[in-house]
């Protein structure tokens, strides 16, 4: 069954190629398709395109389908092109010809846009919640280990003292910026396209404000052409946000792999959270974080994939957009899986507290000693030369004390201020 049926069937080769795996992906949109249809028919009844006696029948029929979806009983039958066709066919089978009325004033173009925007809103909220969980875990660890020093590096060379409080806290605050992008993508998705039909509106007196309110959108895409142009633009924004989170998480995974290495040995995990080697009995590998790093690297290709599929397309709907689902739908699950597993692993992280006792880290304190001389009245350039000569001559002996007090430094992590910043940008996801 096809919504565009005109009495002929396309060649099977053509049908299989154009439909692809869209039917499987459409199962994720089924709930939203029903919710969109419920709002649409309420509006149709309000403008006289449905009878008052027909609306409750259709709403009950759609609710029954929604119950089947929530119970896992809903399928798209063989020969049915997509979720929109399946829902309309089920209604028509159960209610007769009134089931055929639900498509008045709609096109599959705006129907799938509504489904996608409702789907994206929920998935973005899910992702934001996973980010929030990891953010709070990192902040907790930042406070727990704020007094435990570790080496800081530039150019992968020993540079200055850092701390586990700084390390964990840095990734927490970086997630704040990622959530800003996530919130921006959410705002783009949170606009109602219903009523744009095929992209040029309808001669029916549709009440688009009513469906906007019924579906809980913050606003609507007013210009019907702009509504259709949001297909691809919305996905670009979402891809950028997911990629940003993946970049942060992938970088953290790289740090963990590095710091677990015996040459660093800053952190460790229980044996049961590592993997072994088939030939080397001593190996305890950070496979979780290596796979996490690879998945996050792959997710960072998402904006480019979406851009290449949507670049230079002419105005109006093009079938190319169908493939955006292939790219984006799995990405949500992959990123959430990484976020959740990272939080799980961090619940079991072991931090080494005596790292800086090793003399290889003596030079971490050169800047501290330069600054100490400056505080005692020595001009900075003279203090720098004095400590530098001591290093070159092999006579440098560090004082091994750190005194950082300014905002965001080792001794003043500003954890509460960062938490407030996160709470502010997270606000759209509390709706």
pLDDT digits (tens, 9 = 90+) for 285-300: 999 999 999 999 999 9
Contact 41, 106 (CB under 8 A): no
What lies within 8 Å, CB to CB, of 154 at 6+ separation is none
What are the residues facing 160 on neighbouring strands?
152
- Gap between the Cα atoms of 149 and 400, Å rounded: 11
Q: Give φ, ψ of 268 to 5 degrees.
A: -155, 170
In this structure, what DSSP letter does residue 362 have?
Answer: G
Kindly state the helix (H) or strand (E) to which residue 109 belongs, with its residue range. Answer: helix 108-144
Is the pLDDT at 9 greater than 90, yes or no? Answer: no
Cα distances (Å, whole numbers) of residue 251 to 10, 246, 247:
49, 8, 6
Q: Which stretch of 3-7, 59-63, 93-97, 162-166 has the lowest confidence by average pLDDT?
A: 3-7
CATH code for the domain defined by 12-104? 1.10.275.10
b/e burial code for range 299-323 (CB count within 10 A of at least 16 → b): bbebbebbeebbeeeeeebeeebbb
Average pLDDT over residues 370-387: 96
For strand 157-163 and strand 149-154, is the pairing parallel, antiparallel, or unpaired?
A: antiparallel
What lies within 8 Å, CB to CB, of 391 at 6+ separation is 363, 366
Average pLDDT over residues 208-214: 98
Written as six digits, the tokens of 422 are 């996160």
Give the model's pLDDT for residue 431.
74
Return the domain boundaries, the chain. 12-104, 109-357+405-430, 359-393
How remote is the C-alpha of 244 from its chain's centroid?
A: 8
Domains 12-104 and 109-357+405-430 share a fold: no
Domain 109-357+405-430 has CATH 1.20.200.10: yes
Give the model's pLDDT for residue 20.
66
- Gap between the Cα atoms of 249 and 252, Å rounded: 5
Q: 0.85 cut: is pTM over it?
A: yes
Give the model's pLDDT for residue 4.
45
pLDDT digits (tens, 9 = 90+) for 402-426: 999 999 999 999 999 999 999 999 9
Is the pLDDT at 307 greater than 50, yes or no? Answer: yes
Cα distances (Å, whole numbers) of residue 180 to 124, 144, 325, 422:
12, 26, 23, 9
Written as six digits, the tokens of 283 are 């190996």
Q: Give φ, ψ of 158 to 5 degrees.
A: -55, 130
Tell me which residue has tokens 């929920």.
Answer: 122
Burial of 73 (0-12, 13-18, 19+ CB in 10 A): exposed
Tell me which residue has tokens 């994720």.
Answer: 28
């Amino acid at each position: 069954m096809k919504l565009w049926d005109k009495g002929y069937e396309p060649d099977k080769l053509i049908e299989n190629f154009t439909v692809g795996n869209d039917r499987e992906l459409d199962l994720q949109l089924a709930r939203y398709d029903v919710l969109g249809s419920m709002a649409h028919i309420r509006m149709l009844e309000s403008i006289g395109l449905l009878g008052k006696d027909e609306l409750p029948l259709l709403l009950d029929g759609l609710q029954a389908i929604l119950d089947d979806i929530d119970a896992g009983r809903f399928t798209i039958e063989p020969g049915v092109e997509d979720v929109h066709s399946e829902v309309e066919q089920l209604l028509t089978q159960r209610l007769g010809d009134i089931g055929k009325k639900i498509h008045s004033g709609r096109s599959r173009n705006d129907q799938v846009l509504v489904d996608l925007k409702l789907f994206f809103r929920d998935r973005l909220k899910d992702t934001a919640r996973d980010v929030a969980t990891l953010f709070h875990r990192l902040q907790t660890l930042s406070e727990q280990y704020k007094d435990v020093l570790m080496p800081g590096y530039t150019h992968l060379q020993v540079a200055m003292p850092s701390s586990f409080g700084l390390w964990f806290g840095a990734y927490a605050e970086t997630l704040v910026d990622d959530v800003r992008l996530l919130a921006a993508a959410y705002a783009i998705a949170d606009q109602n396209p219903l009523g744009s039909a095929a992209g040029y509106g309808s001669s029916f007196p549709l009440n688009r404000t009513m469906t906007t309110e019924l579906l809980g959108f913050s606003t609507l895409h007013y210009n019907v052409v702009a509504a259709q142009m949001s297909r691809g633009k919305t996905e670009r924004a979402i891809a950028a946000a997911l990629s940003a989170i993946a970049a942060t998480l992938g970088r953290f995974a790289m740090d963990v792999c590095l710091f677990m290495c015996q040459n660093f040995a800053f952190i460790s995990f229980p044996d049961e959270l590592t993997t072994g080697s088939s030939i080397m009995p001593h190996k305890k590998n950070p496979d979780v974080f290596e796979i996490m790093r690879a998945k996050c690297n792959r997710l960072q290709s998402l904006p480019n994939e979406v851009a290449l599929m949507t670049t230079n397309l002419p105005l109006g709907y093009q079938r190319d957009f169908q493939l955006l689902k292939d790219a984006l739908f799995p990405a949500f699950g992959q990123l959430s899986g990484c976020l959740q597993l990272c939080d799980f692993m961090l619940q079991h992280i072991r931090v080494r507290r005596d790292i800086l006792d090793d003399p290889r880290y003596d030079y971490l304190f050169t800047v501290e000693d330069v600054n100490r001389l400056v505080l005692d009245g020595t001009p900075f350039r003279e203090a720098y030369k004095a400590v530098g000569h001591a290093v070159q001559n092999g006579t440098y002996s560090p004082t091994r004390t750190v005194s950082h007090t300014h905002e965001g430094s080792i001794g003043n992590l500003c954890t509460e201020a960062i938490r407030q910043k996160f709470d502010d940008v997270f606000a759209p996801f509390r709706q």
